Amino acid sequence: MKRTPRALVIGASETAALLHLPVLAKLRSAGQLELVEICDLRLDRAIAAGERFGFARNCGDAGAAIARSDIDIVYLFGGARMHHALGLAALKAGKHLFVEKPIAPSHSEALELADVANARGLIAAGGHNRRFLAGFKRIQAGAGCAAWSFAEAIFHKPEFGRSPPFGAATWLTGNGIHALDALLFMMGSPPEWVTANVGGGHRSPAVFTAMMRWPNDSHAVLLCNNEGGGRREEYAFHAPGETWRITEGGLTIEKDGTHCFADLPAAGDGFAAEHEAFLDAVKTGLQPCHAIAALAPSLFLAELIEAGHHGPVRPPVRRVAPVTASDFHPVVVANADRLRSAVGDMPANWAPVSLEDVQRSPRPRPEIRAAILGQGSAPLSDETLDKLPNLQIAGVVGLSLKRYGVERLLDRGITLVNASRAYAESVAEFALGLAILGRRRAFASNQAMRLGSWGITLPQIGALGWILRMARLAQPIAVALGIEPRLRRAWHANSKFARLSSPAMPARDLGGALIGLIGWGSNASALTSRLVAAGASVIVHSDHASAEEIRSGGAEPAPLASVLAAEIVSLHRGLTPATRHCLGATELERLRPGAVLINVARGALIDPDALVARLRRGDIVACLDTFEEEPLPRRHPLRRMKNVFLTSHIAGGSPDMDAAAAREVIGKIARHLDGGTVETVTEERLAVMT
């Protein structure tokens, strides 16, 4: 290429801004390339990166940016699926390609990128970041034509408790691939045999050990632990009578009992070297050492190690169907930052487009058929919807739907889906915990322990506590004088004194308890399955669900009076004008002494004054996560009641739940676009939802 390459960068994340964009800016300053456009689903992030690093344009539509004629090379800094899908689109549009790790979701998909690049005479390189490239080249020169008889590659990183990033299957392809790729680079080819062991204590494997053998009887070992307490990367190469060892401290050569140490220059290593070599390859047409075709074998070997493979290494037969431009579904994404953990799970044939890019488009976007509204995003305005004449389906990743203006979507005949199952599972898990701890009086025991007492009875302190102690001391005298019955009647006539001497509510098991649920939907169904598994019986009062639907979920339908008389009463209704304050003084009066009242639905379902009055009697326990006024006022009487356990609307707010909700919505939209059937939110269902 004779002219200065013109670059499009897709992905303006913190990682890209820290590691890659500064290098590209320096190369631009050196006249090695032009930074034409930067693209990100978060348009504000693209704008900020564009201003900081000197891009001429910014956008939120990667597919449209790739198709522009003034782009020569495309950099992809995202997840594995994005790398494959957009990488193919870039190569088929005649652009050279650089992708960060993982270079693709699988070895076969990486080879597909390499094949398309080769067929079109393009450069496709990957970022496996050989940090010690200068040292490796010196070691290769020291070996000459002789082969190393044994090699060691160690790559440890403290990632315990975290999931692999960038759409990687495990921490090996998300992290340790650096060391595995360096090992294959130094040994010259993949091994003929591998024996692997996989372990780790988190959701996906994080500890890997692999022993490898080459046809010339050379051996190597890979150690990769992502659950330790520190980072460590080093390599050792052995030949008869000599060892070459490379660490962050430099290169050590041990030969015939002597030691030689050499510092390694920073130049030529790491991210800068990758980008410089890529641009050199674009100019000369010669494949770089980090071409995707050269990196794909390390991805294949990683897949074998992740599977705990023991046996010969045979490259698989490729069965990947090529992705064409007609296969892509442009999908509008609003508030992409809240969907960050699930973006890597989007189907490979999706082409995400930022909502801001649609809004500032001067023309309609008839090719867009789907939209995802991330939690907290603004509703789609009529002006925006007018630019999306063929929008078929919209998915809302949020607990409350009405704030997203979904009535406007339904009025236009757009299919509406949400994350009912993900939210239900998270809320049900929380409600189950409240039911168990409330039934066991664990909250009272916690307070008693903090006050220096023991058991589930709270010690009486202050003036009332002093009165109770004096009354107990005076009881024998009152009995002797024959006035004890009259004093006892007077004592119990005073509500404050009566509560002082009332017996503690006993701790009970959940198994065998009768649980009453008010309302039936995804949350109540998910909680019922957990309660039944714990040995409890569940009865349900619902204004909308049929008896068959309730029974199919493992519960029995019942009138409201029966549900209110259960040992645990849990609310699962949506808040509508008809259900507001549906539990008033009359309904709360029906709660039996010792009952546990749980509200993880909406605070305004209960009349707040009636609730406070009922709780002041001291014979029930309330576990409240939602309130009519939030935050709950600092001086609200609920904050001072000993038989109330308060949480700050956290039953449905964990990052795990948000990620699961995003994946659920993405899955529903994908099935709909592929012609499948999905559970939708209808006007009738919306009417009974908050």
CB 602, CB 400: distance < 8 Å: no
DSSP state, residue 656? H
Looking at per-residue confidence, does 294 or 200 come out higher? 294
Confidence of residue 122 (pLDDT cuts 50, 70, 90): very high
In sign, the C-alpha dihedral spanning 117, 121, 127, 130 is positive
Residue at token pair 């009259």: 486
pLDDT at 615: 94
pLDDT at 132: 80
Mean pLDDT to the nearest integer, 621-630? 95
CB 159, CB 250: distance < 8 Å: no
For residue 501, CA distances in Å to 123, 324, 465, 496 come to 83, 78, 10, 9
**DSSP run (H or E) holding 434:** helix 420-439
pLDDT at 476: 76
Per-residue pLDDT of 215-272, as tens digits, reads 989 999 999 999 988 999 999 999 888 999 998 888 899 988 788 887 766 544 678 8
For residue 630, CA distances in Å to 99, 281, 600, 633 come to 46, 60, 14, 8
pLDDT at 451: 80
Confidence of residue 375 (pLDDT cuts 50, 70, 90): confident
Per-residue pLDDT of 164-180, as tens digits, reads 887 788 889 888 888 99
Query: With 70 as the cut, is the pLDDT of residue 317 above it?
Result: no
Confidence of residue 434 (pLDDT cuts 50, 70, 90): very high
Query: With 70 as the cut, is the pLDDT of residue 64 above it?
Result: yes
pLDDT at 586: 96
Instruction: Enter the pTM of the model.
Output: 0.76
Residue at token pair 């920073």: 266
Q: Is 461 left (phi over 0), alpha (psi -120 to 50) or beta?
A: beta
- In 3D space, the residue among 146, 446, 190, 378 whose CA is nearest the CA of residue 294 turns out to be 190
Per-residue pLDDT of 37-60, as tens digits, reads 999 988 889 999 999 999 999 999
Radius of gyration over alpha carbons of the chain, in Å? Answer: 33
Confidence of residue 309 (pLDDT cuts 50, 70, 90): very high
Q: What is the DSSP string of 463-480?
A: HHHHHHHHHHHHHHHHHH
| Ordered structural domains, the chain, with CATH | 6-129+273-293 (3.40.50.720), 133-265 (3.30.360.10), 328-419+659-687 (3.40.50.720), 423-449+506-646 (3.40.50.720), 465-500 (no CATH)
Which of 295-299, 494-498, 558-562, 666-670 shows the lowest per-residue confidence on average (mean pLDDT)? 494-498
Per-residue pLDDT of 492-537, as tens digits, reads 566 555 454 445 578 889 999 999 999 999 999 999 999 999 999 9
Mean pLDDT to the nearest integer, 158-162? 88
Alpha-carbon span 102 to 117, nearest angstrom: 18
Alpha-carbon span 101 to 97, nearest angstrom: 13
Longest dimension (CA), the chain: 114
pLDDT at 342: 65
pLDDT at 468: 55
Confidence of residue 310 (pLDDT cuts 50, 70, 90): very high
Task: Quote the mean pLDDT of the chain.
Answer: 87
Share of the chain above pLDDT 70, in %: 89
pLDDT at 487: 64
Could you tell me the two tokens for 321?
């169907």
